[in-house]
Every structure is written in C-alpha cells, then in structure tokens.
Amino acid sequence: MPALAVKSLYKIFGNRADEAMRRLADGAPRAEALAGLPATAAVIDANFEVRPGEIFVVMGLSGSGKSTLIRMLNGLLRPTKGSVRVDGVELTTLRPAALRRLRREKISMVFQHFALMPHRTVLENAGYALEVAGLPKAERRERALEALRMVGLTEWADKLPHDLSGGMRQRVGLARALAAGTDILLMDEAFSALDPLIRREIQDQLLELQAELGKTIIFITHDLNEAMRLGDRIAVMRDGRIVQIGTAEEILTDPANDYVAQFVADVDRTRILTASSVMEKAQTVLDVTVGPRVAARALRENQTSVVYVTGPRKQFLGTVTEDEVLRAFREGRQSLEGYVSTEQVRTVTADTAVADLFAECAESVHPVAVLDATGRLSGVIPRITLLAALASTAPDSAPADAVEPAVDDPVDSGPAGGTTPAALDPISRKEEPV
C-alpha cells in the first residue's frame, strides 16, 4: 500500500468550481479554460502515489500550485474534488477531530519560513507536537531533546528562536516534525529561504537523517537542483497540473514535453546522470574458461583489441588484451585463466555520477567497466562515449538536442561534436558549487 495516494485531486479557489472543473477536464491550459470565470484553479487533476520510505519531490515555479497541493495532503486545505489517502485512510471526508488525530499520528509538516513560535524556547518548539498530543512533560522533554540531538542543536534547547540563524531555525522546524514521530513528513519549500551554502548543508543533513530514519517525505521546491539532489522521484508541476513524474534521470533523459525539457536544460547533468545511463554494451565479453582460439575469433569479429572476462556467476574479473590472447594461444593454454589483468581497466558502479567518471576514464586504458551491485558487468564506457554524453548536455545546444538521450548513438555523434572545446566548456562551468 502506498504511504500516500492522491487521485484526481482538484483545488479551485473562487466561485463556480464545478463549471471550472468541467472546462479544465479536457486538459486545456488553465488561463484559457477559466477566462471569464470568477475562479482560480490551483491544482488540476493531480494523481500520484508516494511509496513508504521515499522522498517524493514536487517541483514547480511559483504559482504552479505546489503549495496548495501539499496543504491538501494534511487537510490544511480542503480539496474541491478528488481523493487523498494516507495509509489507506481517505482524508477528504474525515471529520475535524479525526483529521486532527491523523495529523498528530501520521503527518507532520516543515514550513518555508520555519513557522516557529517566537515566544517558546527551542525545546518547547521542538516538543510542540507532543504537547498537542498531551504527553507528560518529562517524556515530551526527552523526545524533543532527542529530536534536537538528531539535528545537532542540543545546546540551543533553552534559547528562543530569534537567537538562532536561519539554518538553525529550520533545523528546529525539522526537529519539531521529527519529534512528532510521524511516518510522513511534508516539507513545503523547507530550504528555499536559506542561503545556498546552508541549504546544501541542511540537504545533506536531511539525506543523512533519511538514511537513518526512512521517513516518507513529500518535498516541495522550486529549485530543480534541489529536486534532483533529494528526490527519489520528482513530480514536475506547471500551471496547476503535474506534467511529469519520474526519477531525476528519467526526467532528464526523457522529458514529457517541451516545458520540462526547457526546465531541465540548465541542469548539471553530469551530477544527475549515472554511469548506467551513458554506458554501452561491452562488445566482447567472454567467460574465463573460454580458450584463446575462441577469444581470438571474437576479437576479430568485433574488431576490438580487448576482451572483458567474467568468472563464476558472471562476476567481472578484468580484461585480456589482443597480445595476451596471442600469448595464451602460443603457450597452448585451454582457458584465459592467468592472463586476466585488472591493471588496464577501471571499474565503477552503475549509480556513479557522470561527473565522477572523468578521472576513471582518463586512467583506464580500456573502456571503464560498469558493474552492478553484485559485481556483474553491466556495460562499458569508452572515453568517446562519455564525451558524447557531455556534448548532448551542453546548455548551449537547442533544447531538442539537449534532451536527446545520451546513450542512443554515442559513437556516431561523438567525434563530430564531442571533442570540440564548446562541448568541454560546460564541465568547468558546472563544477562550481550549486
């Protein structure tokens, strides 16, 4: 069961909501559809499911309806139509008291401007949810302190919020939500009010905490890089509609429409794209038990000079070059065992970011081997492929080119555009801190 499921959710502000929804039903842009109606559509036909333990990012520019959407997920705003299920419980029809209990037990929220109570100490703020739940003071204190410890603010417990910097205040906001002990965390532009360095830091902290706690997080942001960094999956919103849902890679490599394509055009792909999305099939892969004669034929057929060798259970062992095959042949061996070398090839895992491939590629004589989690060979990345992938990520090129999946035809497009200075330029530009 999904932790949270949203089905054909609408929020129309103003009058004549039914008429507005009827006009929007066929997917017409909201500005046209609602012309002349005294209604504003904030969220139009939203559908998604969030899996337990997932960070689900909703990304959109201001006015795209994302803040309205998140406020319907805990009933702060009542949907005009549609369904929100939290752990299978339909939230839209709950009575106020039941809704409050659901909020106490299942969902907590972190706000853009922290929303701390200025007249309460950091500790009292962190323990607010527990106070609402009516816990005894001692237990409240203990759990609030534990939450403050998680965000590293124990020494500040007795200070007032105004004594803290912005980043620290938001960590109190986070502690308040963590102390509540709910499985679901709603984060509404939680880091947008912080300056970039602090934002980066608190993002890391969130990811660390998430690795430890495994909450289900719905994170709203207008910052694409933040979305890509945090999100297991990302929903892109525009003008009230969700236009695409997918992983960062899916959205980068296969944008649903021009809007998403343009949106992601400026993203530093080298940090999002992984080895698995730029690798290609290794042409000559042989088991280590194969004799040199077979290897020689395979090399000739594929017109390559290196064999990738796998062992039992397809574990990647290393490479054997043309010369070595020849030597094994001369020495009359029945298998390639003893000729396999790991000196001339580097290995990376499938989820290594493209940005981290450059050094490996440079130091690897043969195309870098990409291994899956169990150590099997999934593919290889020749240098030229990496450069080709980069060329297609250059923001200077037209959006249509920019979104062309890098793996499609890397060898062909490689020599043409891949080695020109223009293609290399984005590397240096994009490695600045985000």
Shortest reach from residue 5's CB to other proteins, in Å: 20
Single out the residue of 117, 213, 362, 398 in contact with other proteins (rule: CB under 8 A).
Answer: 117
Please say which residue, 107 or 227, places its beta carbon nearer to other proteins.
107
Residue 76 touches other proteins, criterion: CB under 8 A: yes
Measured N-to-C along each axis, helices 166-179 and 196-213 cross at an angle, to the nearest 10 degrees, of: 20
The footprint of other proteins on this chain (CB under 8 A) covers a number of residues equal to 31
The single residue among 22, 78, 101, 137 that binds other proteins, judged by CB under 8 A, is: 101
Q: Smallest distance, Å, CB 265 to other proteins?
A: 33
Instruction: Tell me if 128 contacts other proteins by CB under 8 A.
Output: yes
Within positions 268 to 287, which residues make up the interface with other proteins, using CB under 8 A?
Answer: none
| Four-CA torsion 381, 383, 388, 390, nearest 10 degrees | 90
Q: Which is nearer to other proteins, 6 or 345 (CB)?
A: 6
Which C-beta is closer to other proteins: that of 76 or that of 198? 76
Q: Which position among 160, 245, 427, 434 is part of the footprint of other proteins (CB under 8 A)?
A: 160
132 forms part of the interface with other proteins (CB under 8 A): yes
**Paired tokens of 364:** 């690897």
**Residue 108, interface with other proteins (CB under 8 A)?**
yes
Spatial CA neighbour of 366 closest among 389, 385, 344? 344
Q: CB count, 10 Å around CB of 133?
A: 14
Q: Minimal CA–CA distance to 279: which of 143, 87, 92, 411? A: 411
Non-local CB neighbours of 117 within 8 Å, separated by 6+ positions: 124, 125, 128, 161
Give the nearer residue to other proteins in terms of CB position, either 128 or 156.
Answer: 128
Give the C-alpha separation, 114 to 130, whole Å: 18
Nearer to other proteins, 71 or 383 (CB): 71
Decide: is 71 part of the binding site for other proteins (CB under 8 A). yes
Sign of the alpha-carbon dihedral angle for 7, 12, 16, 19? negative
Work out whether 103 is an interface residue with other proteins (CB under 8 A). yes
What does DSSP assign to residue 200? H
Options 30-38, 114-122, 271-279, 368-376: segment touching other proteins (CB under 8 A): 114-122
Q: Which one, 187 or 288, has the nearer CB to other proteins?
A: 187
Binding of other proteins by 193 (CB under 8 A): no
CA torsion angle for 240, 243, 245, 246 (degrees, to 10)? -140
Q: What is the closest distance, in whole angstroms, from the C-beta atom of residue 188 to other proteins in the complex? A: 9
Strand, coil or helix: 394: coil
Name the β-bridge partners of 11.
43
Angle CA 44–66–74, to nearest 5: 90
Q: Is 119 in the site for other proteins (CB under 8 A)?
A: yes
Point out which residues bind other proteins (CB under 8 A): 71, 74, 76, 97, 100-105, 107-109, 111-113, 115-119, 128-129, 132-133, 160-162, 176, 180, 186
